Amino acid sequence: MINRRHFLTIAAVSALLPLSAWAQSADKAAAFVKSTGDRLVAVVNGSGSAGSKRSQMTQIIDSDVDVDGIGRFCLGRYWKQATPDQQKKYLALFHEVLVTNITAKLGEYKGVTFTMGRARPQDEEAVVSTTVIRPNNGPTAVDWVIANPSGSSPKIIDVVAEGTSLRLTQRQDYASYLTHNNGNVDALIAAMKNQVSQNS
């Protein structure tokens, strides 16, 4: 039989275990963001050619960002309406659009630095706050949303700059485009191809 003292001890330990797991997850997410951020800054501030920087940036995105998950999120309800072939083409182009959008602005971030803020659990994810500083620009608050921080392979699933979610903004843009094009996923794919070709 468990007496009152033993019961209270067990209850206290049980209550602390989730907090301990969350703290470990947040710490792991913070370490992941610090590592990824350092790699990004090294590429941006490096002396390599544009092609070399694009290649390095692609490697970071492929390893540290849940590109397919973000892509599906951004397509919203139209993901299930798309055929398997459309889904495949869309995800491939989404990856290209993401890489192109980032690498096209590398010059604007030359001399960038960042400082770490606090990390906190948020549902099944973790949010890591940072401050990004660019020459001749004010500091920008950037939150990194990390999925499965307690797992073996954390991934970035969103970046929130000054309170604006990049994946939500992209989802709204795609939804608006598809609404004005009768939900035609092929039309969106064609527009994404054009976007990549214009910025390559």
Q: How many domains does the chain have?
A: 1
pLDDT greater than 80 at residue 170: yes
What residue spans of the chain are helical by DSSP H?
Answer: 4-45, 50-64, 67-75, 78-81, 84-103, 166-179, 185-199
CATH number, domain containing residue 194: 3.10.450.710
pLDDT tens for each residue of 22-61: 456 788 899 999 999 999 999 999 888 888 988 999 999 9
Do residues 42 and 66 touch, judged by C-beta distance below 8 A?
no
Domain holding 113, by residue range, is 4-199
Among the residue ranges 153-157, 164-168, 196-200, the one predicted with the least confidence is 196-200
Do residues 130 and 29 touch, judged by C-beta distance below 8 A?
no
pLDDT tens for each residue of 61-83: 999 999 999 999 999 999 999 99
Can you tell me whether residue 60 is helix, strand or coil? helix
**Dist. CA 94–CA 97, nearest whole Å:** 5
**Which residue reads 């973000």 in tokens?**
70
